[in-house]
Copies of this chain bind each other. A is one copy, B any other.
């Protein structure tokens, strides 16, 4: 049996919503290969570390973020033979959806780290196969908003229905009717719970505050491409 000996890394697709755009955290690589190029944050898995543990550690190291703040899940694993010039490196990608953090991407050991609007990232700009990994992560996030309450992971602990709608509109790059959206969100079992408080954002009538509800699956779901009824 020819068993291949490889290195294993974790890479992170960290998504948040800042300044009205879906943004991903990228780091500028300080060492070869791909020195100076933008890449997903990540690193090698330590000898006695579980994969999720390694991903959570990298998340803390690169962003100072508590992994429990948003949502965190395994995305997929990439292991094409030529994907890393250093040799055979298999990477397990994790996807995190985070609220817009005041934390200044502290404590990074990379040359630089920055949030970048995903629409501004050119194809081929990222190191390794990180283009594809990022794309898969975004696609996963888009799909999961339909059937799960994960949009709340982009929001702080308390948020308004309009905040949540902005999440959907930004991630899906769509416009949603505020009235229908309000009905669906408040009607889906366990999606959101009112806290009792209200806030005034900029202008207009004060909005109720909500927190995440206990649901793990949305029922009914908020479907993206509904067939137009009158056609």
> Taking beta carbons and an 8 Å cutoff, which residues of A are in contact with B?
1-8, 43-51, 74, 76-81, 88, 90, 92, 147, 219-220, 225, 227
State how many copies of this chain the complex holds.
Answer: 2
Q: Is the CB of B50 within 8 A of A81?
A: yes
Other-chain residue from B2, B45, B90, B225 in contact with A47 (beta carbon distance below 8 A): B2
Question: What chain B residues lie within 8 Å of A8 (beta carbons)?
Answer: 4, 6, 8, 79, 90
Question: Quick check: B7 and A80 within 8 Å, CB to CB?
Answer: no
B residues near A77, Cβ cutoff 8 Å: 51, 74, 77, 92
Say whether B88 contacts A90, CB under 8 Å.
no
Q: Is there contact, CB below 8 Å, between B50 and A4? A: no
Given the interface contacts A77-B51, A79-B45, does A5 sit within 8 Å of B7 by beta carbon? yes
A225 to B219, CA, bound (A): 9
CB <8 Å contact, B7 and A90:
no
